[in-house]
């Protein structure tokens, strides 16, 4: 297990905002990546295509639009954008306030970090005429609940809902609630989108807050418990079995 922070990653250039890679192969991840961006009003994350990777983009704060050519679909905090491989996409802050976005890719797309997706103005790919976009904008809090959990746990993206490589859940913890993360066969990532939690392993205890990140290896086990006064909101993403 590694404890990370959204604003302590490695900077990479993509459009005119500030972008960091937080979970990526250079820090040990092999199956999934996590990126973080802060975009001022008018700033854009360049339109691009992932050849093989699926993309799950979460609007954490603020809002804007998912851009596909000349088409802009509004997004706001609490929504996820699911982008299948091969779809043209970018994001633009169309509001008058800063926007904070995170994104997961599976499998990792290292071309993004080499600058190969950062096209010059007017040179970005555009959707083909007649193509119907398969990009989805999803309200995480209204996604299907997973029954029998110890808290409000919702499945946002999964193979049952059309993905091939990524699964993404939205978890809310209220006072007194907690859950166990058990060993599995894939890497996984938790991003703390609000509130405070206590993470307990067999021999350590850590206190995390907004913008902190947990990168869990397949054999890791720990518990996550609500602390503080605010509702905890966690974004939980992992690759599907197809990437193992």
Indicate the CATH number for domain 140-243: 2.60.120.10
Nearest to 22 by CA among 10, 39, 14, 37: 10
Q: How is 14-45 classified by DSSP, letter by letter?
A: STTSEEEEEESGGGT-SS-EEEEEEE-TT-EE
Tens digit of each residue's pLDDT (9 = 90 or more) over 168-177: 999 999 999 9
Q: How many CB atoms lie within 10 A of CB 12?
A: 18
Place of tokens 């350590």: 204
Mean pLDDT throughout 225-240? 97
What percent of the chain has pLDDT above 70? 95
pLDDT exceeds 70 at position 123? no
- Any residues with CB less than 8 A from the CB of 145 and at least 6 apart, and which? 152, 153, 154, 155
Nearest to 171 by CA among 226, 235, 228: 235
Mean pLDDT throughout 82-99? 93
Do 140-243 and 2-139 fall under one CATH topology?
yes
Identify the three-state secondary structure at position 63: strand
Tens digit of each residue's pLDDT (9 = 90 or more) over 217-226: 999 999 999 9
pTM of the model: 0.94
At the fourth CATH level, the homologous superfamily of domain 2-139 is Jelly Rolls (2.60.120.10)
Mean pLDDT throughout 83-87? 90
Tens digit of each residue's pLDDT (9 = 90 or more) over 19-68: 999 999 999 999 999 999 999 999 998 888 888 899 999 999 999 999 98
pLDDT exceeds 70 at position 119? no
pLDDT at 60: 98
Domain ranges of the chain: 2-139, 140-243
């Amino acid at each position: 297990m590694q404890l990370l922070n959204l604003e302590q990653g490695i900077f990479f250039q993509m459009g005119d905002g500030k972008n960091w890679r937080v979970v990526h192969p250079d820090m040990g991840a092999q199956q999934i990546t996590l990126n973080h961006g802060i975009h001022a009003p008018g700033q854009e994350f360049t339109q691009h295509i992932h050849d093989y990777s699926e993309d799950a983009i979460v609007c954490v704060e603020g809002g804007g639009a998912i851009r596909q050519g000349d088409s802009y679909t509004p997004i706001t905090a609490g929504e996820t954008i699911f982008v299948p491989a091969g779809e043209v996409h970018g994001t633009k802050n169309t509001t008058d306030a800063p926007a904070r976005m995170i994104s997961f890719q599976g499998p990792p797309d290292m071309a993004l970090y080499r600058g190969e997706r950062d096209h010059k103005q007017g040179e970005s790919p555009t959707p083909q005429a007649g193509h119907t976009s398969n990009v989805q904008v999803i309200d995480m809090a209204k996604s299907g609940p997973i029954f029998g959990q110890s808290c409000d746990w919702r499945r946002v993206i999964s193979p049952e809902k059309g993905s091939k490589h990524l699964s993404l859940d939205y978890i809310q913890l209220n006072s007194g609630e907690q859950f166990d993360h058990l060993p599995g066969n894939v890497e996984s990532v938790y991003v703390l989108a609000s509130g405070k939690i206590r993470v307990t392993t067999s021999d350590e205890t850590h206190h995390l807050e907004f913008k902190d990140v947990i990168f869990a290896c397949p054999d890791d086990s720990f518990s996550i418990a609500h602390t503080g006064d605010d509702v905890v909101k966690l974004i939980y993403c992992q690759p599907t079995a197809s990437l193992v």
